[in-house]
Amino acid sequence: MKEKKVVEEITSMSEDFAQWYTDIIKKTQLIEYSGVRGCMILQPYGFAIWENIQKGLDERFKATGHENVCMPMFIPESLLQKEKDHVEGFAPEVAWVTHGGSEKLPERLCVRPTSETLFCDYYAKIIQSYRDLPKLYNQWVSVVRWEKTTRPFLRNCEFLWQEGHTAHATAEEAQEETIKMLNVYADFCEDMLAIPVIKGQKTEKEKFAGAHATYTIESLMHDGKALQSGTSHNFGDGFAKAFGIQFSDENNELKYVHQTSWGMSTRIIGGIIMVHGDDKGLKLPPRIAPVQVVVVPIAQHKEGVIDAAEALCAKLSKVARAKLDKSDKTPGWKFSEYEMRGVPLRAEIGPKDIEKNQAVLVRRDTGEKIFVSLDEIEDTVLKLLDEIHDNMLETARAHREEMTSVAKSYDEFKDIIENKGGFVKAMWCGDTACEEKVKEDTTATARCIPFEQEHISDTCVCCGRKAEKMVYWGKAY
Amino acid sequence: MKEKKVVEEITSMSEDFAQWYTDIIKKTQLIEYSGVRGCMILQPYGFAIWENIQKGLDERFKATGHENVCMPMFIPESLLQKEKDHVEGFAPEVAWVTHGGSEKLPERLCVRPTSETLFCDYYAKIIQSYRDLPKLYNQWVSVVRWEKTTRPFLRNCEFLWQEGHTAHATAEEAQEETIKMLNVYADFCEDMLAIPVIKGQKTEKEKFAGAHATYTIESLMHDGKALQSGTSHNFGDGFAKAFGIQFSDENNELKYVHQTSWGMSTRIIGGIIMVHGDDKGLKLPPRIAPVQVVVVPIAQHKEGVIDAAEALCAKLSKVARAKLDKSDKTPGWKFSEYEMRGVPLRAEIGPKDIEKNQAVLVRRDTGEKIFVSLDEIEDTVLKLLDEIHDNMLETARAHREEMTSVAKSYDEFKDIIENKGGFVKAMWCGDTACEEKVKEDTTATARCIPFEQEHISDTCVCCGRKAEKMVYWGKAY
Q: For residue A25, which of A154, A132, A142, A126 has the smallest C-alpha distance? A: A154
CB A407 within 8 A of CB A424: yes
Cβ pair B70:A39 closer than 8 A: no
| DSSP state string for A110-132 | EEPSS-HHHHHHHHHHH--BGGG
Q: Rounded distance, CA B349 to CA B230, Å?
A: 41
B311 reaches A (C-beta below 8 A): no
Closest-CA distance, B99 to chain A, in angstroms, reads 5
Q: Which one of A74, A103, A142, A160 makes the best mutation probe of the B interface by having the most chain B beta carbons within 10 Å?
A: A74
- What does the pLDDT read at residue A1? 38
CB A256 within 8 A of CB A246: yes
- Helix, strand, or coil here: B444? coil
Q: Give the distance between the most distant pair of CA atoms in chain A.
A: 81
Q: How far is CA B274 from CA A52, A215, B389, B477, in A?
A: 35, 46, 16, 11
Cβ pair B100:A79 closer than 8 A: no
Question: b/e map of A247-265 (b: 16 or more CB within 10 Å)?
Answer: beeeeeeebbbbbbbbbbb
Cβ pair B142:A68 closer than 8 A: no
Nearest to A69 among B43, B71, B72 (CB): B43
Class of domain A404-474: alpha beta
Model confidence pLDDT, tens digit, residues B104-153: 999 999 999 999 999 999 999 999 999 999 999 999 999 999 999 999 99
Cβ pair B98:A94 closer than 8 A: no
Chain B residues lying within 8 Å of A74, measured CB to CB = 36, 39, 95, 158
The CATH number of B293-386 is 3.40.50.800
- What does the pLDDT read at residue A9? 81
Pick the CATH number of A10-276 from 3.40.1360.10, 3.90.226.30, 3.30.450.40, 3.30.930.10: 3.30.930.10
Nearest to A34 among B48, B72, B157 (CB): B72
- What does the pLDDT read at residue B3? 44
H or E stretch including A440? helix A432-442
Range B90-100 average pLDDT: 94
Q: What is the dihedral of CA A462, A465, A469, A474, to 10 degrees?
A: 0
Q: For residue B176, which of B232, B216, B249 has the smallest C-alpha distance? A: B232
- What does the pLDDT read at residue A7? 52
H or E stretch including B349? strand B345-349
User: How many Å separate Cα B116 from the centre of its chain?
Assistant: 21
* Distant-in-sequence, close-in-space partners of B462: CB < 8 Å, separation ≥ 6: B410, B413, B428, B429, B434, B437, B438
Q: Where in chain A is the domain with CATH 3.30.930.10?
A: 10-276
A67 reaches B (C-beta below 8 A): yes
Range B342-352 average pLDDT: 98
Q: For residue B22, which of B270, B324, B225, B222 has the smallest C-alpha distance? A: B270
Q: For residue B153, which of B53, B74, B55 has the smallest C-alpha distance? A: B53
The CATH number of A293-384 is 3.40.50.800
- What does the pLDDT read at residue A8? 60
Percentages of chain B per state (helix, strand, coil), in multiples of 5: 40, 30, 30
The burial class, CB within 10 Å (0-12 / 13-18 / 19+), for A466 is exposed
Chain A residues lying within 8 Å of B101, measured CB to CB = 91-94, 146
Residue in B with minimal Cα distance to A38: B72
Residue in A with minimal Cα distance to B51: A68
Residue in B with minimal Cα distance to A290: B67
Q: Where in chain B is the domain with CATH 3.40.50.800?
A: 293-386
H or E stretch including B426? strand B423-428
| DSSP state string for B351-370 | HHHHHTTEEEEEETTT--EE
Query: Residue B6: pLDDT above 80?
Result: no
CB A469 within 8 A of CB A428: yes
Residue in A with minimal Cα distance to B160: A70
CB A182 within 8 A of CB A217: yes
The burial class, CB within 10 Å (0-12 / 13-18 / 19+), for A383 is exposed
Reported pTM? 0.96
β-pairing, A135-144 with A445-450? unpaired
Q: Which one of B27, B73, B269 makes the best mutation probe of the A interface by having the most chain A beta carbons within 10 Å?
A: B73
Q: How many CA atoms lie within 13 A of B231 on its CB side?
A: 20
Q: Rounded distance, CA A92 to CA B100, Å?
A: 8
Model confidence pLDDT, tens digit, residues B408-427: 999 999 999 999 999 999 99
* Residues of chain A scoring pLDDT < 70: 1-8
Count CB atoms within 10 A of the CB of residue B303. 9
| DSSP state string for B25-48 | HHHTTSEEE-SSTT-EEE-HHHHH
A-B Cβ pairs (cutoff 8 Å, strict): 148
Query: How many residues comprise chain A?
Result: 477
Kindly report each contact of residues B90-95 with a partner whose C-beta sits within 8 Å and lies 24 or more positions away, as own/partner: B90/B114, B90/B145, B90/B209, B91/A101, B92/A101, B92/A102, B93/A100, B93/A101, B93/B145, B93/B146, B93/B147, B94/A100, B94/A101, B94/B144, B94/B145, B94/B146, B95/A74, B95/A97, B95/A99, B95/A100, B95/A109, B95/B144, B95/B146, B95/B157
Q: Where in chain A is the domain with CATH 3.40.50.800?
A: 293-384
Question: b/e map of B370-397 (b: 16 or more CB within 10 Å)?
Answer: eebebeebbebbeebbebbbeebbebbe
Strand partners, A226: A220, A476
Closest-CA distance, B289 to chain A, in angstroms, reads 15
Count CB atoms within 10 A of the CB of residue A88. 12
Domain spanning B2-276: which superfamily?
Bira Bifunctional Protein; Domain 2 (3.30.930.10)
- What does the pLDDT read at residue B1? 38
Backbone angles phi, psi at B272, to 5 degrees: -60, -45
Closest-CA distance, B79 to chain A, in angstroms, reads 9
Q: For residue A102, which of B76, B39, B107, B146 has the smallest C-alpha distance? A: B146
Closest-CA distance, B219 to chain A, in angstroms, reads 26
Interface of B with A in 108-167 (CB under 8 A): 109, 111, 118, 121-122, 125-126, 137, 141-142, 144, 146, 157-158, 160
Chain A residues lying within 8 Å of B95, measured CB to CB = 74, 97, 99-100, 109
- Helix, strand, or coil here: A261? strand
Q: Rounded distance, CA B415 to CA B407, Å?
A: 9
> Where are any strands of DSSP class E within B59-197?
67-68, 74-76, 95-100, 103-111, 135-144, 158-168
Cβ pair A48:B68 closer than 8 A: yes
Model confidence pLDDT, tens digit, residues A431-470: 999 999 999 999 999 999 999 999 999 999 999 999 999 9
Cβ pair B99:A102 closer than 8 A: no
Q: Which one of B80, B96, B115 makes the best mutation probe of the A interface by having the most chain A beta carbons within 10 Å?
A: B96
Closest-CA distance, B139 to chain A, in angstroms, reads 10
Closest-CA distance, B191 to chain A, in angstroms, reads 25
Model confidence pLDDT, tens digit, residues A38-87: 999 999 999 999 999 999 999 999 999 999 999 999 999 999 999 888 89
B35 reaches A (C-beta below 8 A): yes
Closest-CA distance, B94 to chain A, in angstroms, reads 5
Q: Rounded distance, CA B239 to CA B69, Å?
A: 20
